[in-house]
Structure 1
C-alpha cells in the first residue's frame, strides 16, 4: 500500500510539473491567470478522485498507475497511445503560445465557466470509476472481469472517454485558447481509434460484450454516435 501511495503522489507531481512546463514555457510568463486557475481545477479534481479510490477501491487505483504507451500490451494500442500523448501535450503547448502571442480573445469569465465543465468531465470519469472497478488505464481483461451495463454504461459504451473528451474540449477554453481546440480535435479522433480497437479486443476476450454492444448502440454521445 505504501508503494501505491508513493507512486500515486510522485506520478501526480510529475504530471502537474510537465503540464506546467508545457504551458508556461511557450507562454514565456507566469502571469497567466487562466493557466493557474485551470491547473488548480485539474489538481483538486484529480486529488479528490484519487482519495476516493484510495479509500474505496485501491485495486483500481493500482490499475490506473500502470498507464501509457509502454504499458500497453497490444501493439496497435501502443501506437495509438503514443500518438494520443503527443496531441495531449500540444493542447497545452498551443495554449501557451496562444497566450503569448494573443491569438485568441477569451474573457476571463468564459474561462472560469469552462473550468466548471472541466470539473463536469472529471465527475463523469469519477462516476465511471465508481461503477466499474475494472477500468484499467490500458486495454486488458482481468480474469474475473464482467461486462458492466449499469450507470453511465447503460447510455454509452465508453463513458470515461466521453468525460475525458468533455474535459479536454473545455480545457482549451479554460486556458483561453481557441486554437488549442485543433489539438483536442486530433486527440478526439485518436480516442475514437482507440475505442474502436478496444471494442474489437473486448469482443474477442470478454464474455457477454457482444450482447452488451447490441443493447447499448452508442459509443460516446447518446442518440448521435
Structure 2
C-alpha cells in the first residue's frame, strides 16, 4: 500500500509539474516549485500516517477514480472535474508565461496558509470518516454508517469545503488571479456533486435523512 501511495503521488504531481512548466515555458517558477515539493511531502507524510491509522480508507483513496459500483452521474461529474483540474493547471501556466496576473508576495503567503487549512480540513475529515472514498458509492462491505461527529457536525460535506480552500490557496500560491477566479468552476462542480452524493446516501444509507435534517448546511456553515 505504501509503495502504491508513493508511486501515485509522484505520478500525479509529476503530471501536474509537467503541465505547469510546459505551459509556463520555463522551469524558473518559484511558486510552482514550492507548491509541487510541498504537496509531494505533505501527501506522503499524511498518506503514510493515514495508511497506518486506517488502511481500509487508504485502500479506498488509492483506488481508481472510475469504479464499477460508482453511480453513473458521479462517473461523468468526476471525469469532468479531473479534466477541469488538468486544464486549470495549464491555464495558470499560461498566466505565468504571459504575465496576466501580478500577485504580491504577501498574497502568495496567504494562499499558502489557505491551502494548508484546506488540506487540514480534508485530513480531519478522513480521520473522522473511514468511508470518505473518492467516489460516490455505498460501502456495504465495510459496514458504512452515517458520520455525525467532527467536521460533519458543522457541514455535510467538509471534504469539499476543504477542497475549495485548497484550490483557492493553490491559485494564490502560484500567483494567478485568473486561476483564483476559475475556482468558481470547482465550486459549481462540487456543489453539483453534493446533490449526486446525497441522492445516493439518502437512498442507501440508513439514518442519513435524519442527519441531513439535523445538519442543514452542505459546504459553508450559516451560508449553504
Normalising by structure 1, report the TM-score: 0.94
174-183 vs 19-28, which moves further: 174-183
CA-based RMSD: 1.3
- Give, in angstroms, the shift of residue 44 of structure 1: 2.3
Contact 1:141 1:206 in 2 (8 A): yes
- The residue aligned with 2:174 is 175
Moved over 3 A (4+): 69-72
Task: Provide the rounded CA distance (Å) in 1 between the counterparts of 2:222 and 2:39.
Answer: 29
Q: Does residue 207 of structure 1 match 2:206?
A: yes
Secondary structure of 1:12 counterpart: helix
- The residue aligned with 1:165 is 164
Task: Provide the rounded CA distance (Å) in 1 between the counterparts of 2:125 and 2:104.
Answer: 32
Normalising by structure 2, report the TM-score: 0.95
- The residue aligned with 2:11 is 14
* Aligned length, in residue pairs: 222
Once the two structures are superposed, what CA deviation does each residue of 1:32-86 show, in whole Å capped at 9, x if it has no partner? 0011111122222212210211211111100101142456621111110111011
70-79 vs 132-141, which moves further: 70-79
Q: Per the alignment, do residues 48 and 72 of structure 1 end up closer, same or farther by CA in structure 2, a change over 3 Å counting? A: farther
Task: Provide the rounded CA distance (Å) in 1 between the counterparts of 2:217 and 2:159.
Answer: 13
Contact 2:118 2:166 in 1 (8 A): yes
Unaligned runs of 5+ in 2: none
Once the two structures are superposed, what CA deviation does each residue of 1:165-211 show, in whole Å capped at 9, x if it has no partner? 11001111110001112432112211111111100000000000000
Contact 1:91 1:172 in 2 (8 A): no
Task: Provide the rounded CA distance (Å) in 1 between the counterparts of 2:9 and 2:175.
Answer: 24
Alignment of 1:51-200 (within 5 A): 51-69=48-66, 73-143=70-140, 144-200=143-199
Task: Provide the rounded CA distance (Å) in 1 between the counterparts of 2:51 and 2:208.
Answer: 29
Q: Per the alignment, do residues 192 and 71 of structure 1 end up closer, same or farther by CA in structure 2, a change over 3 Å counting? A: farther
